[in-house]
Amino acid sequence: MSSTTKRGKPRIHIWLWIAQGLLAALFLFTGGSKLATPATVLAQQSHLSGAFMKFIGVCEVLGALGLVLPGVTHIRPGLTPLAAALLVIIMIGATVSTAILLPSLLPLPFVVLLLTAFVAYGRWRLAPLEGGAVTGASVAR
């Protein structure tokens, strides 16, 4: 293994943790605000139903927790790329919705989509979180 590879791995971990922290804060805020807002108000603010917006809020809060808790607790770290991948699906919907309704605001959800995809791919392939991985020995127990 070359010295650049040894140094590159910790660097990508740092960038991924920064992205995970920022995204977790963003999704915790947006999901929490959807949960705190009455469904009738959410329905008036969106072309989607209030109940669906509440569901998206729950998904965002759970996704935010999934971005950071598995890595911090070292319990089920494989859930981090899964949480990020599921948040990518939410952000695809948000990007398409924004493109249709408010095209001038399109860069915001698109950047969040790209950052979330970076975390999903990064934690899946580039720099997976260690600890709690399922191995043959742990399955046999």
Q: What is the pLDDT of residue 25?
A: 98
Q: In this predicted model, what pLDDT tens digit does every residue of 81-99 receive, in sequence order? A: 999 999 999 999 999 999 9
Instruction: Give the C-alpha separation, 74 to 95, whole Å.
Output: 32
* pLDDT at 136 > cutoff 90: no
Whole-number Cα distances in Å, 33 to 29, 37, 58, 61:
6, 6, 10, 10
What is the average pLDDT across 102-114?
A: 97
Contact 77, 135 (CB under 8 A): no
* pLDDT at 3 > cutoff 90: no
Q: In this predicted model, what pLDDT tens digit does every residue of 6-46 receive, in sequence order? A: 566 789 999 999 999 999 999 999 999 999 999 999 999 98
Cα 122 to the chain's mean position, in Å?
12
Q: What is the pLDDT of residue 95?
A: 98
Q: What is the pLDDT of residue 130?
A: 86
Per-chain mean pLDDT for the chain? 90
Nearest to 69 by CA among 126, 127, 131, 114: 131
